[in-house]
Structure 1
Amino acid sequence: MWHFAVFLLLIYYLINRRNSKYLLYPPGPYSLPIIGNLLSVWMGLKNHKYHHKLWQSWSKIYGNILGLRLGLINVVVVSGRDMIKEVSSREVFEGRPDGFMYTMRSFGKKLGIVFGDGRPWSNTRRVALKYLRSFGYGTRSMEVIIAEECSELVKLRASDSGQPVLVNQMFNISVINILWRVVAGRRYDLNDDRVKHLCGLVMRLFRLVDMSGGIISFMPFLRHLVPKLIGFTEMKAIHASLQTFVKETIEEHKASIDIENPRDVIDAFLIEMLSNKENAFTEEELYVVSLDMLEAGMETVANTAVFMLLYLVRDENIQRKVQKEIDDVIGIRQPSLSDRSRMVYTEAVLLETLRLSSVAAMGIPHMALEDAHLGEYLIPKGTFLLMAIHDLHNGDLWEEADTFKPERFLNEGKLVQDERLIPFGLGRRRCIGEGLAKSELFMFLTHILQKFNLRIPHGDSLPSLEPVDGLTLSANPFSVIFEQRSS
């Protein structure tokens, strides 16, 4: 039976190669029948280690529109700010991938804010933003929440000051609490074992595949043959744990809801579902929106904050410059977001952290909703489009691109906003959490360096700048000693 299936796939491949669409497809490495470029990817990763570096090496050969065939999926990698801007701004490329890896978390459907698309996505995004804002998102009350979580984090680090701390999961619960207090009306202790375990699961999930979707999206039938080998078994187990956590939260809200007095975003969605039954959101949609806010917000911001510590602990001189600015502008009072406009060096440190880390190395994939021309090529409907953000931020256009150099964002004492820096994307699919993420990073940085000097533990080597590959990039494990500053 499987021989017949392979035969049919081979016939489909040969017919497809003769199709005019295929002839206009962007150039790339030679594609084999059925598996496409998967063998080339496997071999290329042995040399380049990271997916984004492999795509970058091929783009230098084939151009800034790189055409790949990964298993059953067309994947196009676009490089350079102009091309990334064009893809981000055209409605035909606003889709999200329908590969198995992306939809297995959302009941096999395109739901939610991150991986939804079309009119349902627009509506979900609009309503979610409305409810977030009504419960303080983007307001002064949000700053109060961030400040409270920063204070709790500082207290935790004061309790173990002078001792080496493995920092790779240090910000996870703090970041969850900041948004979860608005979404679910709940905060967790920074030592809560269940939430620590949950955060560990999310981090593990983000390490299992890269942003192109991995073998589970390119050849989804393999989950029936070798589920453990391709990571399906582990993904399924992680999603089950996350589903239990989020569904328990929603059920708790349903059991105690007061229709006249919504407490948070989940309450507001549930009331909307009760009062507008004809066009109501489903519980599946509410679950996926909640999961989006739990996963995406934690992973990207927490990873970036960890990279920020990595860069600072490697360079004591930069630490001292930030601390001097904190002492001059803030003194001993609690840092505030209103301080940002007067702390240009600190802001430059944050911009340089976003540039060098580029945790969303390829952005979040787009998908062509119809056949569309891009440059001189034809992008077939259903093609996944990856954007080479890491290459844009770390390429030849930057002087000493591999060096952490905040001064590149300063000019005669003023902050420079470089248009090549787009860590949160462009266009309608630009990350809705950009403002919150920047606020969190500023507050984490100022609260920590106001109270502590960061040191590498005695005997430890300098932490590596090399990241860990995955859906997002993360730092390799490293420890820091938080040494209390003398007042």
Structure 2
Amino acid sequence: MFWTSAHIDVVMRRLAKKYGPVFTVYVGHKPQVIVADITIANTLFKQKNYSGRPTLFTTQFYTNENMCDIATSDYDERWAALRLIGHKAIVNYSRDEKLAKIISDCVDTTIRKISQKESNKPFKPNTYLFDLTFNIIAKSLFKKSIPLTDSEYDFIKYYCRDINNEFSGSRILLDLSPLFGWLFPQIAQKFSKAIIKFNQFNYEKLKLHYLDSDRGGDDGYESVVQNYKLDTDDDDNDFCDAIIKAKRDGLRDNKQWSKYLTDRNLGLMVSNMFDTGVATMDDSSQWLLLWMTYYPQCQQLMRQEISEIIGDQQPRHSDRYQCHYVMAFIAEMLRYMSLLSFYHKTLETTKIEKYTVPKNTIVLLYLGHVMREDSQWGTDGHSFRPERFIDTDTGHYTGSKCPQLIPYSVGLRKCVAEKLANATLFIICVRLLQSTKRIELADSQGISPDPLISDRRLPRAYKIVIEPNI
């Protein structure tokens, strides 16, 4: 499958059509089972046996006998405890209107920069969108310690963006086999140091939320109560406050799993949120802007709805329940851009339909087939049509009730930040349209006729023209 010029999505669709909803590909000598059916996926990934994570070069910096995170750790009681309080903190924070203000302010700042440098002339939006998503995530996590120092800012930007360009191929090789770490020790060492430094940065930022940052909050409930004071009316409360509060509540209730809520583990949770948050939100924002310019009629319908429902007011999270077309547009964008889920691993030897799958086998859900194949979506699975998520009788958004709309995967390892991601995308989309009079696609080279085909997870480079409204 790697000896072809076709995009991986095209290759995977061909394999799914040829071999059916479950097939195996080999990466080197290692088999990976691909699931391309929503019914099978729902059955498998709700089971603990399919909820493990493989041991890779990069995962050793997030999980071992002394520490654990949410994204890369294997399924065990430590992971379950962190997942539980992580989900609680994310749900609560995603509903906070302070987050909506952070996002709106970041969008306004971005549009002002564009107005000063690029107004009414074609430009590539990539850097502006990365800066936008980076600042949203940074301020959401560390509002109490913003602004970052220049050295902090430069390193985190390097880690979240440039390191992927520098090490993308090497990272894949390192994860494939330890042999590549021995063959290219300088690359492995540089990459390792960057991950360790990034995790330490987030751990230290988390501990700054305690009155005595050197002590932190690992001495039990009374210690956390004495060493951490949360002002619920403080506009500077951030996501770190949310997870420390969730930790405090778990310790207060004397939950058996609360022993796993160490500050080191919570710091790794913050690392997960920062790293994956910036990467996925940057990808989504670039697709969002592409679709609203590639399909100007959709942009106009969103502008009209926003004008009628919200007007010039700063958008609130509750506006999602009235802006049905905006929500449908975002859902269609997520449906169209998704390819593969994160790695799953079998914890025991098992069977998928008639196939025996050994213990420690990687299993992947192929989202591209589930969310775009005509067999799942009628006759227009490969058409971009937000109206598919609008009830024809009521005009209401129906995407939340659509079982095959699974951009955040399914089952026990479903993305814990789903609600936060949806809330953020909604505010970004609305505020971008509020703060501009027009956004047009200026250069369709590499996009037409099918903007689905991308070089990586991102669209091919494109240029737009923006006429600011602020």
Shorter-normalised TM range: 0.7 to 0.9
Q: Relative to structure 1, is the Cα distance of residues 72 and 284 closer, same or farther in structure 2, using a 3 angstrom cutoff?
A: farther
> In the alignment, what sits opposite 2:267?
287
C-alpha distance in structure 2 between counterparts of 1:87 and 1:222, whole Å: 33
- Point out which structure has higher relative CO (alpha carbons under 8 A, 6+ apart): 2
Structure 1 equivalent of residue 35 of structure 2: 78
The one of 17, 21, 29 aligned to 1:60: 17
Find the counterpart in structure 2 of residue 379 from structure 1. Answer: 357
Q: Measure the CA separation in 2 of the matches of 1:68 and 1:304.
A: 28
Q: Partner residue of 2:79?
A: 121
2:434 partner letter:
Q
Structure 1 residue 203: Cα displacement: 3.3
Deviation at 1:424, TM superposition (A): 1.1
Q: Check conservation: 2:133, 2:282, Cα contact below 8 A.
A: yes
Call closer, same or farther: CA 1:53–1:461 in 2, change over 3 Å. Answer: closer
Distance 2:229 2:81 in 1: 24
2:286 maps to 1:329: no
1:429 corresponds to: 413
Q: Deviations over 1:375-408 (max 9, x none)?
A: 1111111011110001212223343444322222
Percentage of identical aligned residues: 20
List aligned pairs for 1:380-459, cutoff 5 A.
380-397=358-375, 398=377, 399-412=379-392, 413-417=395-399, 418-452=402-436, 453-457=438-442
* Conservation of the 8 A alpha-carbon contact between 1:112 and 1:121: yes
Note the alpha carbon deviations across 1:28-72, whole angstroms, 9 max, x for none: xxxxxxxxxxxxx432xx23342x443333233322211234345
Structural RMSD (CA): 3.6
Aligned to 1:199: 157
Structural mapping, 1:56-455, within 5 Å:
56-71=13-28, 73-104=30-61, 106=63, 111-116=68-73, 117-131=75-89, 136-160=93-117, 161-186=119-144, 195=153, 198-206=156-164, 214-226=172-184, 232=188, 235-236=191-192, 238-243=194-199, 245-250=201-206, 252=208, 254-255=213-214, 259-262=227-230, 266=240, 269=244, 279=259, 281-282=261-262, 284-358=264-338, 361-397=339-375, 398=377, 399-412=379-392, 413-417=395-399, 418-452=402-436, 453-455=438-440
Deviations 1:283-318 (A, max 9, x none): 542332121010111211221111010111222222
Which region of structure 1 is more displaced relative to structure 2, 54-63 or 216-225? 54-63
- Counterpart of 1:90, as a letter, is Q
8 Å CA contact 2:350–2:359 kept in 1: the answer is: yes
**Structure 2 gap ranges (5+):** 217-225, 231-236
**How many residues end up aligned between the 2 structures?**
432
SS at structure 1 position matched to 2:68: coil
1:126: Cα distance to partner?
A: 2.0
Distance 1:304 1:233 in 2: 31
Q: Closer, same or farther in 2 for the Cα pair 1:336/1:437, shift >3 Å?
A: same
Secondary structure of 2:192's aligned partner: helix
Q: How far apart, in 1, do the equivalents of 2:336 and 2:410 lie?
A: 18
Looking at structure 2, the residues matched to 182 and 125 of structure 1 have their Cα atoms a distance apart, in angstroms, of 19
User: What residue in structure 1 maps to residue 454 of structure 2?
Assistant: 467
1:42 matches 2:29: no
Quick check: 1:368–1:382 contact (8 Å CA) kept in 2?
A: yes
Q: Is the 8 A contact 2:446 2:461 kept in 1?
A: no
Query: Structure 1: which 5+ residue stretches go unaligned?
Result: 1-40
Q: TM-score, normalised by structure 1?
A: 0.77
Please say if residues 305 and 325 of structure 2, whose CA atoms lie closer than 8 Å, have aligned partners that are also in contact: yes
Give the counterpart letter for 1:166 in structure 2. K
* CA distance 1:127–1:460, change in 2 (3 Å): closer
Partner Cα distance (2:440, 2:96) in 1: 35
